[in-house]
Structure 1
Amino acid sequence: MIRFGYIILFCAAFLGLFSACQKDDAGKPVDTEEDLFIRAVDISYWPVIRDYHLDFYNLNGAKEDFIMILKNSGVNTIRLRLWVNPDEPYASLPQVNSFARTLQSAGFRIWLSLHYSDTWADPGQQQIPSAWLGAEHDALNDSVYNYTTRVVNQIKPDLIQIGNEINNGFLLPEGDIYSHKIQFLQLLNSGIEAVRNANGKTKIIIHYAGLEGIDWFLDQVSDLDFDVIGLSYYPVWHGKDLTLLTEKIKEITINRNHDVMIAETAYPFSLGWNDWTNNIVGLEEQLILPEFPASQQGQRDFILEIRNILSETERGLGFCYWGAELVAFDGPQSENGSSWENQAIFNFDNQALPVLEAFSKNLK
């Protein structure tokens, strides 16, 4: 029996070595290990920026296609926001569907952030889409279900958020978590059921901004059928204590039967600017100092730390960098350009920054 056991172990080791060393038709090694840890960027505004015909450069300074720079750097998932009936084509279902198909063809997973609004949705505003205004509660539930079904059937996302940063609810005032808790849960469940019925493989994310109040919020949604708790974490808004963030993430994974991920984060590589549009982050007091200065190295180190927090947590699913594409696309004197160009992952000359090293599948 002992000798037979050795034979089994030897065969298993040999087969494992063989599978790890497979080669493609050109004789190049192929990595067959499944890439499960999410390394995402939100580049929702790229279809607009693309029309400005800017040149982009990789880490080596060579001109390269924007999407391929991301792919070759190890980004494996793209997050896209979706609005119901926006004034412009941007973030509409036809545009997002078209962009998602391009990204899927390039080998990316698709992560949708459904805002259930015609514009931005976050803790400060959760406006009902104009087409759904005045609807009775049952009709609003049907609208959520039917719209979500249509989105999932068309795009077939790998991950989907039912709402964006829904700390206070969504589809307000009907879906206010404080004054209309039952209605809020029913609306949320309508979106969840639509995803489950349309595509059982799509992971469902409930998205919360920051850490304050997270335990109470998760208690309210604990009976719902979702897979992932997604957190936004920006030091400028959500505190500068990464130890607290680490402890809270681990606490959530222990006490809740869900995976956890950072659904949105970003950090500046500079406090300077590249257009005349006021930037959201521009002061040292908004940073985590001295550990993470507003420098190329500081940006890289911050995202590496975020990645490490998730990768070292048993049910940490991954992270997403928000606004990766938001360079000063409209020129250096634009007052209607980017408020985020010092937090993009390309410098003021549109060259990829070292932060992209944090997206590599196999960190060195």
Structure 2
Amino acid sequence: MRSRLKFVLIVLLLAMVSCSKEEETPNAMPFIKAADMSYLPLIESEGGVFYNSQMVAEDALRTLKESGCNTIRLRLWHSPSDHHSGFNEVKLLAQRVKRLGMKVWITVHYSDTWADPGQQVKPSAWQNLSFNQLKIQFEQYTTQIVTQIRPDIFQIGNEINNGFVYPEGNLTNNEAQFLLLLTSASNVIRTQSPSTKIMLHYAGIQGASWFFSKTAAIDYDYIGLSYYPVWHGTDLSVLQQTLTSLGQTYSKKVLIAETSYPFTLGWNDWTNNVLGQLNQLHPNYPATLDGQKNFLHQIKSTIQQTPNGIGFCYWGAEWIAFRGTQASNGSSWENQALWDFTHKAVPAMTVFK
């Protein structure tokens, strides 16, 4: 009897070891619990200090890691006028993230400034090039990012609902060229870093099915959607249905690539905030510390309950009012950050656990 029990225990132990190894295969990504921290170098350069939940000054990245965050999202601009979010800064910040044992997710804007559904301005260095010349520069830049930063996730463009690298990559007017640029980026990433996951990113819910039908032939791994109640509606069931449909239709992992929520409708500087009115909120979640936490918990739960759901990312986590209470050029997001007006980590950060 004892020998049989011993045999059973050995079999169970071997099975557990086997499962553990399978979960830790090099190409496997854990459930992504991410925060966008792109402003961190700028804030630190101007003396900004972050505190953990015990009100002890601490590296903001470490506070996130200790809270359960496992991935840091960083935007990359080609040639920004002030050098912030440029290649060298992002490369150094990515190295910091890796030293802390977290994954690096690069959102490459292929622009010198913000790229989103409202604007997709190509880098000034690529002006006056023929399409073939632009494509060569595009591929060389993509190669530089992959080989020197080596991100775990490479997001080709940012909220590319209507394409990117205008006018050549405008989806409406130049669909063939848009798809050729996406294909080129994918080929470079697959060749230079096969383990890197490739993401296509769409803002919102409406029109997402159309967009991903257009990009169905592209070789990529993750479908990412931005979701903000103020712009994309308050019905989380529609969000989940859309993610489910996209994941199953195209056999891709799906995630909420951007989301956020306010812990107050107040402000901490004189920079106009994006959210400041009751009618901009989700009716189930007040603009309180608990409301913010409960909203993020619901986002996490929604993606966990979605077939092929692989994670979420909180946007503007670090964007506190770092230039003081009188600044008109500080933060339009400080009431949605993951640090409060005293720069202390908010309860919503515990959702990463």
Q: TM-score range by the shorter chain?
A: over 0.9
**Conserved? CA contact 1:142–1:190, under 8 Å:** no
For residues 277 and 196 of structure 1, the distance between their equivalents in structure 2, rounded to whole angstroms, comes to 42
Is residue 359 from structure 1 mapped to residue 321 from structure 2 by the alignment? no
Q: How many percent of aligned residue pairs carry the same amino acid? A: 45
The residue aligned with 1:13 is 12
2:333 is aligned, of 336, 340, 360, to 340
After superposition, residues 277-356 of structure 1 pair within 5 angstroms as 277-289=271-283, 291-356=284-349
Amino acid at match of 1:10: L
Please say if residues 223 and 247 of structure 2, whose CA atoms lie closer than 8 Å, have aligned partners that are also in contact.
no
Query: Which among 251, 255, 259 is matched to residue 257 of structure 1?
Result: 251
* Aligned residue runs from structure 1 range 196-207, under 5 A: 196-207=190-201
Deviations 1:217-274 (A, max 9, x none): 1110001100000100011111111111111111112211110011111000000000
Aligned to 2:78: 84
What SS is found at the alignment partner of 2:66?
Answer: helix
In 1, Cα distance between equivalents of 2:48 and 2:79: 28
Residues in 2 aligned to 1:111 and 1:330: alpha-carbon distance in whole angstroms: 27
Q: Distance in 2 between matches of 1:18 and 1:199?
A: 28
Q: 2:90 aligns with which of 75, 87, 96?
A: 96
CA distance in 2, matches of 1:295, 1:266: 13
Question: Equivalent of 1:266, from 257, 260, 271?
Answer: 260
Match of 1:40 in 2: 34
| Distance across 2 between alignment mates of 1:8 and 1:241 | 53
Q: 1:63 to 1:131 in 2, by over 3 A?
A: closer
Aligned partners of 1:319 and 1:131: how far apart in 2? 33
Secondary structure (helix, strand or coil) at the match of 2:340 reads coil
Q: Deviations over 1:141-175 (max 9, x none)?
A: 11111100011100010001110000000011111
TM-score (norm. length: structure 2): 0.94
How far the C-alpha of 1:17 sits from its partner, in A, is: 6.7
Is contact 1:58-1:69 (8 Å) kept?
yes
Q: Aligned with 2:351: secondary structure?
A: helix
Within 2, Cα distance between the matches of 1:9 and 1:134?
Answer: 71
Q: Deviations over 1:6-41 (max 9, x none)?
A: 7664323234678999xxxxxxxxxx8987000000
Q: Determine the structure 1 residue equivalent to 2:202.
A: 208
Structure 1, unmatched stretches of 5+, are: 22-31
Question: Which residue does the alignment assign to 1:28?
Answer: none
Aligned partner (choices 194, 206, 215) of residue 188 of structure 2: 194
TM-score w.r.t. length of structure 1 = 0.91
- With over 3 angstroms needed to count, the CA separation of the structure-2 counterparts of 1:35 and 1:221, relative to structure 1, is closer
Decide whether the 8 Å contact of 2:146 with 2:193 is kept in 1. yes
Structure 2: distance between partners of 1:89 and 1:61: 31
Q: Which moved more, 1:134-143 or 1:175-184?
A: 134-143
Which residue, out of 138, 142, 145, partners 2:139? 145
Query: Aligned pair in 2 of structure 1 residues 180, 298: CA closer, same or farther (>3 Å)?
Result: same
For 2:176 and 2:243, locate their aligned partners in 1 and report how far apart those are by CA, in whole Å. Answer: 27
In 1, Cα distance between equivalents of 2:108 and 2:29? 25
**Post-superposition offset of 1:137:** 1.4
Q: Secondary structure at the match of 1:205?
A: strand
C-alpha separation between the residues in 2 aligned to 1:52 and 1:9? Answer: 61
Does the aligned pair in 2 maintain the 1:145–1:193 contact within 8 Å?
no
Alpha-carbon offset, residue 56 of structure 1 = 2.3
Structure 1 251/19 Cα, relative in aligned 2: closer, same or farther at 3 Å? closer
Opposite residue 255 of structure 1, the aligned amino acid is T
Give the number of aligned pairs: 348
